[in-house]
Chains A and B, each alone.
Chain A
């Protein structure tokens, strides 16, 4: 009998324990989190891993360092934490060329802990890189790619995970052409690109708009980004007698052109204009005094949102200098929309594990509407163009070169010009 009792007790215990187990299991099953392409699970105590793929070495390092600082400041402003998890940022150098972009993206794609990426800097990197990341389910937001192709409706489904907070060069090229024709009253222009998607497409947009506004394009030349001797190609350009040379390329080659242009016969008086890719103190170092008086088209700092001033103060405090390229604020905004999207789709399981669905994160990023960023109101369109593009023209002074600091106030911008003389109705908003 005693035996029977013991047996009964043991049996009852077993039943109780297994019932408890079943209950626990049932509880777990109620937490369901599914995603079309995959879920990143972050255990309690682990960080949310965000990767930056940017050019942080070589002649264009200022571009990547600038955007990286923007991202860092954004994470700091969030207190380094979202949803109770700390945010970890890792950086991969991209070299500002297609090979570098591909290598960096392949490395990131192999790391399953990465939730989202911020990058790349140069459009040439994004072209092979973004599809590799998206194949691994990683959405990426670029703070400084501007080539129109990347957000073109015909870009293909492999770019579905790609967005950008930088402006589209369709806007930048048009502003540059408008300034050259309407403000500088120039008639003939020559362009130079370096074969990168950014430079090639930007100079094409400039040339189209320049012709539309009644100007002539004397020649559209190309160099290699590693070229140093630009005098022969400039001599060729000189045969067309242009009034302005537009060369939206990068720092090393841009510096060589700027220095060598005045040494070529027939180009002593030509005006020079470059774009956001060379808008950096490093370019002023490369070009030296020859950069004085030249123009740059670049994002309009004066039109940035109210938070920009505090951002600059924090930047100065943390890094001891002013921003060194034009895309720090875009980097900040890119990080902010990524963090906001993670906050939106991230779900904590009862055991504290954070679940983030990759497809959901991508959709949340694309759904970003009316986001008040430093660079303006961000609205991510159907193809991933999130920017509120405001482009201005800057002119480099002797003082800028001496102090190696980019001009912080534009000399002209379409918005300011429209505000100054409200008479001419906004000539049907240009195709964007």
Chain B
């Protein structure tokens, strides 16, 4: 037994485990030191967690697009962050028109639904066109080629939208019904964060059951298992791939509006950072795995919000929130050291990888 272990473990593994162990020790040490000082009360921690959940559910929705496309095409769709940007940016003009005409304040729910629909439609349209124009002709090309194409498409979309709407930013109007806070059992939660978390949860549940329960979802899963065999079984592969892009685009468009409602600023470059974070979340959860993407997104959001206060404060690091991104990526490294396939990722078969 021991001999077999010895054979399997390479020196690299040992070094990696040492690094991982050191990071873990630091995290525990920092957390204990922070909790011992008692600067933060239960309410503070609750707030941190809610802020993290709200941010994390947006990451999760975007990550869904990355992971589904990876699952079916084995490529990383780097232009997905632009799919995320174009929806809310376009819907901004609808929102601004509603706001200036007073329609938004009169019928907030109807307006919100319209804004969501416009954003999701735009994102979906862009995602489908992207697949049709940029990816489909290259489907049989070596894997590096669509990847580079995706990066190119990303720039193309960014600067196209910059050309359309200008290089400055636009501020989303405030929706009055989403302002304020709800209190329950002494804990408070901001209304729009409750809406963001709830909306993201509903969307993710709907998506998951679509993929797991419907015939179309089953077909998508079949195509991602094995394209040739599914084609032999009479599944239209092109249609399934387009469906995947439609789903990815819809969830990105919805995530975009939630993001805009939370942060109120939209600009042509807004997709870049959330896109990178969502991609990280997808890898963290196990790329190609839908529940993994959700989990990864929420985990990343929580770590970003809670982490700096919990781990770094106790270590005596000044201005820990500057290192928010560093923490997020350290978590990725940590997960990849101990579970190279991601939290929920399965071991890939040789053929898939």
Binds A, one of B102-110, B243-251, B319-327, B339-347: B319-327
Asked if B28 lies at the interface with its beta carbon under 8 angstroms from chain A, I say no
Asked if A288 lies at the interface with its beta carbon under 8 angstroms from chain B, I say yes
A246-275 vs B: 1/0 string, CB under 8 Å?
000000100110010001110000000000
Q: Is the CB of A259 within 8 A of B321?
A: no
Q: Which residue of B lies closest to A223 (CB)?
A: B321
Q: Is the CB of A255 within 8 A of B321?
A: no
Q: Quick one: which of A227, A252, A265, A285 contacts B324, CB cutoff 8 A?
A: A227
Asked if B188 lies at the interface with its beta carbon under 8 angstroms from chain A, I say yes
Q: Which of A287-308 contact B (CB under 8 A)?
A: 288-289
Q: Which 4 A-B pairs have the closest CB atoms?
A: A222-B319, A222-B322, A233-B321, A57-B167
Asked if B129 lies at the interface with its beta carbon under 8 angstroms from chain A, I say no
Assuming the A-B contacts A222-B321, A239-B40, A252-B169, are A264 and B174 also in contact, with contact meaning beta carbons closer than 8 angstroms in the complex? Answer: no
**CA distance in complex: A233, B262 (Å):** 16
- Chain A's interface size range is 20 to 34
Inter-chain contacts of B305 with A (CB < 8 A):
229, 231-232
Asked if A235 lies at the interface with its beta carbon under 8 angstroms from chain B, I say yes
Assuming the A-B contacts A229-B51, A232-B308, A232-B309, are A239 and B44 also in contact, with contact meaning beta carbons closer than 8 angstroms in the complex? Answer: yes
Asked if A207 lies at the interface with its beta carbon under 8 angstroms from chain B, I say no
Q: Is the CB of B324 within 8 A of A286?
A: no
Interface size on B, residues (CB 8 A): 39
Inter-chain contacts of B262 with A (CB < 8 A):
228-229
Q: Which residue of B lies closest to A256 (CB)?
A: B263
Q: Is the CB of A59 within 8 A of B308?
A: no
Q: Is the CB of A285 within 8 A of B171?
A: yes
**CA distance in complex: A431, B282 (Å):** 53
Q: Is the CB of B265 within 8 A of A286?
A: yes
Q: Is the CB of B168 within 8 A of A282?
A: yes
Asked if A377 lies at the interface with its beta carbon under 8 angstroms from chain B, I say no
B206-243 vs A: 1/0 string, CB under 8 Å?
00000000000000000000000000000000000000
Q: Which of A181-234 contact B (CB under 8 A)?
A: 193, 195, 220-224, 226-229, 231-233
Which residues on B are within 8 Å of A, measured CB to CB?
39-40, 43-44, 47-48, 51-52, 55, 167-171, 174, 181, 188, 190, 259, 262-265, 267, 269, 273, 304-306, 308-309, 313, 318-322, 324-325
Asked if A352 lies at the interface with its beta carbon under 8 angstroms from chain B, I say no
27 contacts between A and B (CB under 8 A): A58-B267, A59-B169, A59-B267, A61-B168, A195-B322, A221-B322, A228-B259, A228-B265, A228-B273, A229-B55, A232-B304, A232-B309, A232-B321, A235-B47, A236-B313, A238-B44, A252-B169, A263-B190, A264-B47, A265-B43, A265-B188, A285-B171, A286-B169, A286-B264, A288-B171, A288-B264, A289-B174
Residue of A238, A263, A286 with most partner-chain B CB within 10 A = A263
**CA distance in complex: A111, B39 (Å):** 56
Q: Is the CB of B188 within 8 A of A231?
A: no
Assuming the A-B contacts A235-B47, A252-B169, are A226 and B265 also in contact, with contact meaning beta carbons closer than 8 angstroms in the complex? Answer: no
Q: Is the CB of B168 within 8 A of A235?
A: no
Q: Is the CB of B267 within 8 A of A235?
A: no
Q: Is the CB of A226 within 8 A of B273?
A: yes
A23-36 vs B: 1/0 string, CB under 8 Å?
00000000000000
Give min CB distance, B59 to chain A, whole Å.
11
Residue of A232, A235, A236 with most partner-chain B CB within 10 A = A232
Q: Is the CB of B190 within 8 A of A220?
A: no
Q: Is the CB of A59 within 8 A of B321?
A: no
Q: Is the CB of A228 within 8 A of B263?
A: yes
**CA distance in complex: A223, B325 (Å):** 10
Q: Is the CB of A252 within 8 A of B43?
A: no
